[in-house]
Amino acid sequence: MSLLRIKKAADKIRSDSKVLVVIGIGRSYLGARAVIEFLKSEFHNEKASKDGSTEVYFLGTSASGRYIDDVIDLIGDRDFSVNVISKSGTTTEPAIAFRIFKDLIEKKYGKEEASKRIYVTTDAHKGALLNVAKENGYERFVVPDGIGGRYSVLSAVGLLPIAAAGIDISALLEGAKDAQDEFAKDEDILNKPSILYAIYRNILYRKGFDVETIVGYEPQFRYLFEWWKQLMAESEGKDNKGIYPTSAIFSTDLHSIGQFIQDGKKILFETILDIDKPISKRVVPAADDNTDNLDYLLDRPLKEVNEAALTATAQAHTSAGVPNILLKLDNLDEFNLGSLIYFFEAAVAVSGYLNAINPFNQPGVEVYKTNYVQDSWQTWI
């Protein structure tokens, strides 16, 4: 992987495009979207449109015509580029989206200029998308061999759209490398956080806690948790084994599923992700009167309010027999997120081996992919 070439392509996209359309499904978008929203916020595109930086939209995740129409409407007359990500190029949903946007971009710029605005991330040696890229002279990046898609966010699959969003991918990789170096040290395995996490969750699994809910108190964690769910589900869910992964954003989801967690069947445990350094300096403001009875929180940072909610909720749930694991990051930045990504990838690999399964394949996924072949939809009508 040429990091310099990825950065150069990202710089070009940011200089000539107000919008980057990323076309892919599963691994081909979840990791990149997770990183962008975790570091930039779920309102990244709205904020980017105001300051003139590049917005990033993800397509090919479904066959929804309405969603495609909405993205086309959002682009309007503005300049845009496309990054299509697919190992084969024949997966139905992204293939349809690429056909639509290839036609759109060629009509807008002509074939020659369009070829300079389409970036392909695909297999190095074979596949329909590789052939299309060669025929049209698109700049190509490689989906690495031997790396399952859920582990590919720190390859060109994720790094090009992440860099195009203005994120420091060198710092992201440095964080992952630091975590990898710590994991590789010849020392007591109980000093390795990722192994401890794998052990704790498997102790709970053997005690009958079959569901793990990852929880955060910031809405921008949502897509990181979506990536985490794919990582855990595809790595562990085999041979009638595995911990079922779910996610929640508190306090929001406490008002929908909190009752079940507190008083329902004891099948789940919670893993809480928290950030030590405040993400925002926002405080509770003064008011003309105290009709809302909030003056006891006057000038208190919202970070403290969230921490109080975290502590109170964890105490309530653990007292009701719901185990909690707390994961803390020092700061919300590229380095720490890179470390966290490696932490989860290493932990789920260890967890798989603890259950005598291969954490790097996905045979169940291949079954439904085989069934979802060209024209098979006709049999469902």
Q: Enumerate the H helices of 187-301 as residue ranges.
A: 193-206, 222-236, 254-263
Q: Which of 50, 255, 265, 281 is catalytic?
A: 255
Burial class for 301, CB neighbours closer than 10 Å (0-12, 13-18, 19+): middle
Of residues 82, 36, 60, 78, the one with CA closest to residue 224: 36
CA 348/CA 190 separation, integer angstroms: 16
3 state SS of 83: strand
Q: Tell me whether the omega of the peptide bond preceding residue 251 falls within 30 degrees of 0, making it cis.
A: yes
3 state SS of 378: helix
- Quickly count: other Cβ atoms within 10 Å of residue 148's Cβ: 17
Q: Which of 93, 139, 212, 234 is catalytic?
A: 234
Tell me if residue 255 is catalytic.
Answer: yes
H or E stretch including 244?
strand 244-249
Phi-psi group of 208: left, alpha or beta (phi > 0 → left; psi -120 to 50 → alpha; rest → beta): left
Phi-psi group of 240: left, alpha or beta (phi > 0 → left; psi -120 to 50 → alpha; rest → beta): left
Residue 339 · residue 179 · CB < 8 Å: yes
* C-alpha angle 100-155-245 in degrees, rounded to nearest 5: 85
Where are the strands (E) in 86-198, listed by range? 118-122, 139-142
The DSSP letter of residue 283 is B
Tell me if residue 366 is catalytic.
Answer: no
Tell me if residue 135 is catalytic.
Answer: no
Active site positions, annotated: 234, 255, 369
